[in-house]
Amino acid sequence: MDELSFKRRGELVRLIDRFAEQDGTQETRIPALRLIRASRLSEPVYSVYEPSLCIVAQGAKVVMLGQESYRYDPDSYLTASVHLPIAGQIIEASPEAPYLSLQLQFDMPRILEVIQASEPIGHRKNDTGRGLVVSRMNEMLYDAVLRLVRLLETPQDIPVMAPYVIREIIYRVLQHEQHNALRQFALIGSHAQRIAKVIERLGRDFALPLRIEELAEEARMSVSSLYGYFKEVTGMSPIQYQKQIRLQAARRLLISETTTAAEAAFQVGYESPSHFSREYARMFGLPPVRDIRRMRDTLLSGGGMLHGSEDPSGSKIALEVMHGNRVVRYDSKKERRV
């Protein structure tokens, strides 16, 4: 690393450390930008990644998508092109050198504007790729991201300058050949964009029975094509995707409400509570009652915080321990935002 790169990284660490003083996720005056801080390692945390750019200034994190593992640190960055159910784990952090990162949410119409301004129509491919990608960091992207975070020091400049810097960041990300999938998700009528619509519906109607023929018709694809493209984007089949969304939703119900395991099972679409309990234990490592008791004990002992995330349709459905998208502290009687 040359001296200039070293200074840039040091400045990003300083800025995130300044504007995210406490462990958790900090909203900023730039609506699409969130800052994350963690002073210790975390257990795997289950949530739904929304389309976004994630950059680590200090520390490291591993994200599991299905059976695939993605590690990113200050030398790399992660891009999510579509809503994906993941398990994330902070693997490098300490009180002396906390995990510091940022998340910039993607706006698909803005991405389409950048594509239309920068790429001839004839050069656009209609193919798909994985919706989660880790890429090598480059100086031009890092410089643009640093300029965006610097705006937090001069908030009066944010309304004018932030949209232009975010546009540049999108442009820099799109220049990487690895991010062709991100282009495709923004292009109306592309295979990837049609799969994104299917994902949106699965996230919205996850408690309803899965009718794959109906989804295929809606996506204007054959059933076999839908399966193929869906797995290429998400790393899993539609039914596996629905199962992960259902189980995450059930876990949120159990931790945030006085709901029994059977009631949660029925609310998220399971017909058999015993089947639900088996799949829950397979995903989270413990049956529902024992898992929720462990999570609450961790919270009450001061060992964690509850954080929010968003479902694929974009509505607030939070509550997870440690690292998520919006912070919510929970006690035995109520929840409150912090």
Question: 2 pLDDT band (50/70/90 cuts)?
Answer: low
Q: Are residues 72 and 21 in the same domain?
A: yes
The predicted pLDDT at position 326 comes to: 36
Answer yes or no: is pLDDT of 134 > 80: yes
Q: Are residues 204 and 275 in the same domain?
A: no
Q: Are residues 101 and 170 in the same domain?
A: yes
Rounded CA-CA distance 124/106 in Å is: 20
Q: Are residues 166 and 18 in the same domain?
A: yes
pTM: 0.84
The predicted pLDDT at position 248 comes to: 96
- The verdict on residue 295 lying in a domain is yes
Answer yes or no: is pLDDT of 308 > 90: no
What is the arithmetic mean of pLDDT over 298-327? 42
Q: Are residues 176 and 196 in the same domain?
A: no
Encoded tokens for 61: 């994190």
- The verdict on residue 251 lying in a domain is no
Q: Are residues 192 and 176 in the same domain?
A: no
Q: Are residues 217 and 276 in the same domain?
A: no
Mapping DSSP to helix (H, G, I), strand (E, B) and coil, where does residue 207 land? coil
Taking Cα atoms as reference points, which of 125, 106, 87, 135 lies closest to residue 235?
Answer: 87
- The verdict on residue 247 lying in a domain is no
Q: Which are the contacts of 2, defined by CB distance < 8 A and separation ≥ 6?
A: none
Residue 212 maps to which CATH number? 1.10.10
Number of structural domains, the chain?
Answer: 3
Q: Are residues 39 and 157 in the same domain?
A: yes
- The verdict on residue 253 lying in a domain is no
Neighbours of 132 (CB within 10 A): 23
Answer yes or no: is pLDDT of 55 > 90: yes
Pick from 231-245, 250-264, 267-281: least confident = 250-264
- By residue range, what is the domain housing residue 235? 185-239
The predicted pLDDT at position 295 comes to: 84
The predicted pLDDT at position 79 comes to: 95
Q: What digits encode the pLDDT tens for the residues 81-110?
A: 999 999 999 999 999 999 999 999 999 889
Secondary structure E strands in 41-96: 45-49, 52-58, 60-65, 68-72, 76-80, 84-92
Answer yes or no: is pLDDT of 316 > 60: no
